[in-house]
Amino acid sequence: MKPDTAYRSALPHLTWPAFPAPMAANKLALLFQLEQNQWRTPAEIASAQFDQIRQLVSFAATSVPHYRQTLGDRFPPERINADTWHEVPVLSRKTLHEAAGSLKSDSIPQAHGKTFPISTSGSTGMVVEVLGTDLTTLFWQVFCLRDHLWHRRDLREKLCVVRYQRGPALKGPAGTQAAGWGPATDDVAVTGPSVNYDILLGVAHLVERLIADRPGYLLCHPSMVMGLARHCLAHGISLPGLQEVRTLGESPDDALRETCRTAWNVPMVDMYSCQEAGYLALQCPDHPHYHVQAENVLLEVVDEHGHACAPGEVGRVLITCLNNFATPLIRYEIGDFAEVGEPCSCGRGLPVLKRIMGRYRNLLTLPNGTRLWPRLGYESKLQAIAPIELMQMIQTSLDEIQVRLVMARALDESEIRNLTTFIQGNLGYPFRLRFDYVDSIRNSANGKIEQFISLIEPVAAIP
């Protein structure tokens, strides 16, 4: 939020300084604490995290059936610290899926407010559900406000959101209009309007709507941003008034940031979140890497042996949600890989993630059993080969990959040869490629795109 943000007052005839409503006052009070906390040292932040974790573990071990069995009295508060934390059992996604009922507390603190179910989309074939509370919702909204504050957004501008819309009434080509940006901001500040569109609408139609809406901010998945930007570049379309593109839900790369600059001369800002725990990391205001939202989660990145990864190393992501006492998630393995970053020169003591890599099934398996992250190549080089709108690769065996293409026509023989060489070179092995033409590759459960999916069971550790 910019310094001249107009805050919303709950009292008539008093607009400056604004007198916030009770819940808005709570948000601003928490936001004030977050803004102070971020400048503490990493050691101070970690110490505060474990003060909160001791309360969470003590509560879970006595009021959650699953943790009564797995924790019991093995981890009294005085024994929980950074040196012993690795001894606490990891909660797998499979366990959360199969035993969700036993992970819910039988004595949820009444002061945490009403409870409600939160379900993932099940795009990976495994739906997980947790209980959220009014408190977890409050924290979710406060971290949204921190994101706005960090990136100095002008909330008076119009916000355009392109995401998967669940209800049939929300999927219309005209989108759905709202007077404000949403529940995180509407009771705190005076905002511009917003408009929501379904991500399954065509790129050309969405560009037409962006031209008509003239938003200051655009929020959508990276794959859609790329499609919109490419369309604008191909047709010489500018989006005057656009100040920033915000992305979520997929792993963006540097090529997308460059494309946003080339197409619209605006920055791209990403965020890392999950349905089960809310905001996990926000992009640094000064750099493309991410700061873990340490007041919301303890986020660990561990190798195949469970040891903490050092800066520059890639490992599995484990999270412990610090404010959910309805379904405590303690060392929950969400299924993602991330790369640990060096401490940030911006001065914030919050932990750093250099990259969010994706999920296990986004790993390529070579015939010798080695698993690695596929290098998919630059978008500009792909476009030079053929007019491909979207591409997805699915590894079906150790030596074969299905290449699914969304495009207006089939590849000719020259394009097939060039695309084969391009893909095999990027993947580092002469896989047999099978080209299939499809109408869409967006996941029908959430509108996301996974550029690479492996159907191979892991047979070796990640290098």
CA neighbor of 54 nearest in space, from 327, 279, 241, 298:
298
pLDDT (average), residues 59-88:
94
pLDDT for res 165: 82
pLDDT at 453: 87
pLDDT digits (tens, 9 = 90+) for 243-285: 999 999 888 888 889 999 999 999 999 999 999 999 999 999 9
pLDDT of residue 451: 83
Residues in the chain: 463
Region of residue 54 (left: phi > 0; alpha: psi -120 to 50; beta: else): alpha
What is the reported pLDDT for 131? Answer: 96
Residue 390 CB partners (closer than 8 Å, separation 6+): 223, 227, 405, 406, 440, 441, 449
Closest of 271, 250, 205 to residue 450, by C-alpha: 250
pLDDT average, residue stretch 177-195: 97
**pLDDT tens digits for range 97-119:** 998 899 999 999 999 999 999 98
The separation between the first and the last C-alpha atoms of the chain, rounded to the nearest angstrom, is 42
- Average pLDDT along the chain: 91
Residues 314-338 pLDDT 10s? 999 999 999 999 999 999 999 899 9
pLDDT of residue 124: 54
> Which domains are assigned to the chain?
1-360 (3.40.50.12780), 363-454 (3.30.300)
- Token pair belonging to 67: 């943790």
pLDDT attached to residue 190: 96
The pLDDT of residue 344 is above 70: yes
Share of the chain above pLDDT 70, in %: 96
pLDDT of residue 461: 42
pLDDT for position 460 = 41
Using the 8-state DSSP alphabet, how is residue 304 labeled? Answer: T
Q: Do the Cβ atoms of 183 and 217 come closer than 8 Å?
A: no
Query: Is pLDDT larger for residue 124 or for residue 233?
Result: 233
Model confidence pLDDT, tens digit, residues 416-430 = 999 999 999 888 899
Give the strand pairing for 194-198 and 129-133.
unpaired
3-class DSSP state for residue 131?
strand
User: Higher pLDDT residue, 125 or 195?
Assistant: 195
379 pLDDT more than 90: no
Q: 462 pLDDT exceeds 50?
A: no
In this predicted structure, what is the pLDDT of residue 122?
Answer: 57
Query: pLDDT per residue over 131-178, tens digit each?
Result: 999 999 999 999 999 999 999 999 999 999 999 887 787 889 999 999
Q: Per residue in 189-237, pLDDT tens?
A: 999 999 999 988 888 999 999 999 999 999 999 888 988 998 999 899 9
Does the pLDDT at position 458 exceed 70?
no
Under 8 Å between Cβ of 63 and 107: yes
